[in-house]
Every structure is written in C-alpha cells, then in structure tokens.
Chain A
Amino acid sequence: MATSTVTRVRRQLPSSPWLFAAPGLLITGVFILYPFVSTVVSAFTDRRTLVPGKFVGLANFRELLHDDMFWIGLRNSTLYIVCVVPALVVLPLLLALLVQKNIPGITFFRSAFYTPVVASIVVVGLIWVWLLDERGLINSLLESVGVGRVGFLSDQWLLLFSAMAVTVWKGLGYYMIIYLAALANVPRELHEAAAVDGAGAVRRFRTVTVPAVRSTMVLVGALSSVAAFKVFSEVYLMAGPSGGPAGEDTTLVMLVQRTGTGLTGRVGYASAISLVVFVVTVALMLLVLRADRREAS
C-alpha cells in the first residue's frame, strides 16, 4: 500500500525532487567540492593569485620539508591537540556533573556557563588580550598577591599556552551540554548499587560514570582534536597576524592564510599546506573512531 502510493507520487511530478535538492547541491558543489578538488590539484602546481601556474609535481611538498615555518606550524597545531584535547574531554564532564542535579537556580548556571560559546571568537580573543595584558586584570591581581607581573602575551610559549587556555575556556560550555545529554542516560540504579557497595564519589565516577559516557568522551575527543588542529582565530588575535615573536606561534591554518591570500599569494604552496591539514584531520577522525571500536569490542 505504502509503496504503491509513493510510486504514484513519483510519477506525478518527476522533476520536483531535483528542484528541491538543486540549490543545496549547487552551493555544495561550487563552494565545497569544487574548491576541494581545486585544492588537491593546485597543491601540485606553482599557481599564484593572479597567475594560473603550471604542474610542478611534488616540488611544493619538497619545499615544505625544508620550510622552518611549516614545521613551526605543524609543531604548534600538534601541541594544541596534545594540550587542549585532554582538558576538553575531562573538564566539561566534571562541569556537567556539577550542573546535572536540578537544584534551585541550576538553569541559570547552565546558561551562564554556555555564554562563552555564544560569543564570537574575536570578542573572546580580545577580552582575553585585555585580561592578560601586561597591565591587565590578571597581572593586577597577580601583583597584588605578590607574584609580580607575567608577560603572558610577550613570551612565545606563554602566548601559545594562553591561547590554548582561551580555546578551552570557550569550548567548556559546548561540550558540557553534550555530556549533560549523555549523563541523562546513565541508569541511576548503577550509582545506587555502587553506593550500596560502599564506593565513594571518586570511585563511582571512575567505575560508573566514566564507562557509561565513554563513547561520548570519544566523540568529544574527536571533535575537539579536529578543531584544535585547525586552530586559527585565538592565536591570530592574541599573537598577531605574524604569529608572535619571530612567528614562533604560527599555526598551520595561520600559515595557509598568510601564504595563500593577497595579490601575491602563493596559492599552490598554500594548497599543499592545506592538503596536510586535510590529511591530518581525516587521519585524526579515523584514529579516534578506530580506537573507539577496538575498545568497545
């Protein structure tokens, strides 16, 4: 019955499905898939913004190997994953546990903790540039407790770690909401049984909560590591367009932006870097998903 109806619907208006899907397919094709193919092709050419360029084989990739800036970018983007991902897997979970119980006023707290997610990364970056300024609030506080002023935004490493802290700060609320949804599905009986067995809060967290939200932790790990590797705005705003002292805080996407734009932009070379970003991103996804499957089985 159902199929016959559907068949008749199809016969009635044969062109309409494509009419419905056409705008979406057109935009996706022209602005996502075509640029993707174009990136892959350009990576093997010496194309510039105003010059079509010719095929140069692996020359761009050979140049990458000897480009100090590329290695700096790769190092910083990798460090970003190493430092930011563990924080974004664990801290939002603890935060979710804190706001999980429906005590009075909790909806206010949940919303308030989400505010940094809503704000533009530019706003967030500039807020923290001012907070971490040589004469800003955090240094004022540090000075009044006798620690002295710290050059958060002038030292190469402190700058990078400050940017990471900002990324974590902005991401907390987002992943907290993901964890809240997962925690709602943890059977209460498990907690009660563990409590009856005399397990304390920490023990119950390790033996009940963590196993129950493990797949969500993997999801958060995958999402945050892909996002961390592609970091651009925080570092760009805090370290400046040139990437901090001697460019030592440049990330890969910053390098793509710097190399490939402008009238003299080296589109071919920037595409080669983009391809590295793409391959690492996909590899990260596969790695995390595979680890998840192996552990689950």
Chain B
Amino acid sequence: MSVLEKARPVSRPEAPGPRVTDEHGRRIRVGELVVRYVLLLVVLALTVGPFLWQLSTSLKGPTEDIFSSPPKFLPGHPTLHNYERVADTIPVWDYALNSLKVAAANVVTNCVGSALAGYALARLRYRGRRVATLVFILAMLVPVEGIIIAQFTTMRELGLNNTLVGVVLPGCIAAMNVLLMRNAFLNLPYEIEEAAYVDGADVWQRFLRIALPSVRGTLAVVAIFAFMGAWDDFLWPLIVLSDPSKFTLTIGLNYLHGTFANDERLVAAGTVIAVAPLIALFACLQRYFFRGVGEGAVKG
C-alpha cells in the first residue's frame, strides 16, 4: 500500500493536455480512451438520436419522403410549415399556456407549502409534531396510481374536475418535498437562529431571513422537480380533464396522436413544441436536476 501511495503523482493537472489523466491525476491509456469515447458516442446516438430524428421529421416538408429506406437523416428543405399546421389543428399555444399555468402554480405551491411545513417539522416544537411527520411519511408511501380514481371522485365532490385547479391540487404540496425541506432545515446549525431569537427576531423573521436563504439549493431542487413533474404529467390530467379547451400539452399531444396518427410530421412538430422548453430549462439548470436525483432518490 505504501508503495502505491508514493507512486501517485502529487499534483493534479487542471487543464487536459495531450496526457489525459483521471480525477486522481493518473494517466489513462490511449487505447482505453479510444474505447471509452467510442462507447460514449454509441450511447449518445441511442439517447439523443431519437430526439433529433423527431426534430428532423418535424422540419421535413409535405413533398419530402419521410419513409425512405435507407432513411434520410437531414431534411432536404427545412420548413416550419408543420408547426403552423399544429397550431391550425389543435390550439397548441393555449395548451402550452395551460401547461405553463399548471407548472408555475405547482412550483409556487410546492415551494411555499413544503418550506413552511418542512420548517414546522424541523424547527418548531409543538404537541403532535411526530404525528405530523408521520402523516407526510405515510402519504409519501401511498402510490398515486392506486388512489387516482378516489382522487377523481374527491375532485368531483369538490366540483373541481375538469379545471386546471383540479389538475394542480393533488400534487400541490407533495409530501416528498415537505420531507426534503425538513431534512434541509435539520442540517442547518441551530446556533444562528438562536442568536437571532436572542436579538428579538420572531418565528417568521427567523424563517424568512435566516433559515429560508440557507436552504435555497434544496428549494431550487423542489422548484425544478415541481415544474418538470407538472409539465410532464400525463395520467392525472388525462383523468381529470375532459373538456378539450382545458387540455394541457401532454393531453393535447395524446389527442393529436389519437386523431392524426398517420400525419407523422404533425405529431413530430407537436412533440418538439412540448419537449423543447424542458430541454432548455435542463440545459440551463443541470446541476439542480442532478442534485434532485440524489436528494429525492425515493421519488421513483
């Protein structure tokens, strides 16, 4: 072991030069490097390729053959014609707006609601705190798919079926997020809040000025996953929405696919409209997406 310790280079080169090294500063053989990049490119083609094919199909005009064999990967004369047709066929921009409303509302309610509840579970002492924590843990274990019919009948009883409010409500303060925020608050040192208390800060001031700014990272994770979850959701809006004017994008796409299945260019353009905003969001905020997987691995 000691021989190995000595053999390890001390400095870690920052810039990748001709000598490619791994995170421990040890050299990677050229052969291994070539194999790695070839494999990476193969997986890249498999994971991103399908999206690019969809984009390519959506840009092909009505006269271009999309069924050719061997396939043509690039559109001969790229056109936005199909995107105009989607808007003529279904009110796609209204659907996008509905999706945006649902997603935005989901972000706000989840951030506010889970921060408040998480703070109460982590920092405030009161009778019934354990019961409250248990309620959220139990709720997290209930599979949504198993109660979705009862959620629908509950929504009918409240007269909120077929409304966007009804789409948002069941997931608007997810138990998972409450527990995430609770853990984030628990990990903060208590001393600062104590000092603030001594200085006369009440519970709201301590929550807003001290605790909340310290858990911004977790809050960002909650926000992003709330946005993504609402924007991508399918089963619940499919059940709760029946009026086509209230559709979200995913339900609108399902309708487009069901009615115009033979018009591949049209469906392709619709899917690109639905996925582009999220890919853009992901490109900008990657690290929070990855952090969210780590923190919320129980989400499934």
Interface residues of A (CB under 8 A from B): 2, 5-10, 12-14, 16-18, 20-21, 23-25, 27-36, 38-39, 42, 49, 95, 98-99, 101-104, 106, 109-116, 118-123, 126-131, 133, 135-137, 139-141, 143-144, 169, 172-174, 177-178, 181, 188-189, 192-193, 196, 219, 223-224, 226-227, 230, 232-233, 237, 240-241, 253, 256-257, 260-261, 265, 267, 270-271, 274-275, 277-278, 281-282, 285
Contact = CB atoms under 8 A, between A and B. Distances in A.
B80 to A, nearest CB: 19
A42 B145 contact: no
B188 interface: no
Given A21-B121, A143-B69, A274-B150, 14 more contacts: A20-B116, A21-B120, A33-B142, A116-B47, A118-B282, A120-B250, A120-B274, A122-B271, A127-B51, A141-B69, A192-B4, A223-B298, A226-B143, A265-B149
Interface in B202-219: 202-204, 207
A7 B125 CA distance: 8
16 contacts: A23-B117, A28-B139, A28-B175, A33-B135, A49-B156, A98-B43, A116-B47, A118-B281, A119-B279, A223-B300, A226-B143, A226-B300, A260-B148, A267-B150, A274-B149, A277-B143
Contacts of B270: 126
Contacts of B36: 98, 101, 103
A114 B289 contact: yes
B272 to A, nearest CB: 9
A5 B53 contact: no
A120 B278 CA distance: 9
Given A38-B154, A227-B300, A127 B271 contact: yes
Interface residues of B, number: 107
Given A122-B274, A256-B148, A237 B113 contact: no
B147 A109 contact: no
A271 B150 contact: yes
A31 B144 CA distance: 10
B150 A36 contact: yes
Interface in B110-154: 112-114, 116-117, 119-121, 124-126, 129, 132, 135-136, 138-139, 141-143, 145-154
Contact of A257 (B46, B135, B148): B148
A36 B151 CA distance: 8
Nearest to A133: B264
A260 B149 contact: yes
A35 B147 contact: yes
Contact of B297 (A172, A219, A277, A278): A219
Nearest to B171: A31
B146 A275 contact: yes
B100 interface: no
B146 A9 contact: no
A169 B48 CA distance: 11
B117 A103 contact: no
B203 A9 contact: yes
B295 to A, nearest CB: 10
A90 B297 CA distance: 17
B255 to A, nearest CB: 11
Contacts of B114: 24
Contacts of B294: 177-178, 181
Contact of A141 (B71, B202, B268): B71
Given A13-B203, A114-B282, A189 B120 contact: no
A274 B146 contact: yes
Nearest to B156: A49
Contact of A103 (B28, B120, B235, B300): B28
Interface string B249-286: 11001100110000010011011001100110111001
Residue of A99, A130, A230 contacting most chain B CB atoms (<10 Å): A130
Given A189-B1, A226-B143, A237-B257, A104 B16 contact: yes
B26 to A, nearest CB: 9
B57 interface: yes
A5 B169 contact: no
B116 A177 contact: no
A133 B261 CA distance: 11
B83 interface: no
Given A126-B267, A130-B268, A178-B293, A28 B150 contact: no
Given A21-B120, A114-B282, A140-B70, A32 B175 contact: yes
B228 A118 contact: yes
Contact of B48 (A2, A112, A224, A282): A112
A281 B114 CA distance: 26
B90 interface: no
Residue of A30, A95, A115, A188 contacting most chain B CB atoms (<10 Å): A115
Contact of A5 (B71, B147, B198): B198
A224 B283 CA distance: 26
Contacts of B138: 33
Contacts of A32: 139, 142, 147, 170, 175
A27 B169 contact: yes
Contacts of B175: 24, 28, 32
Interface in B79-102: none
Residue of A39, A95, A122, A232 contacting most chain B CB atoms (<10 Å): A122
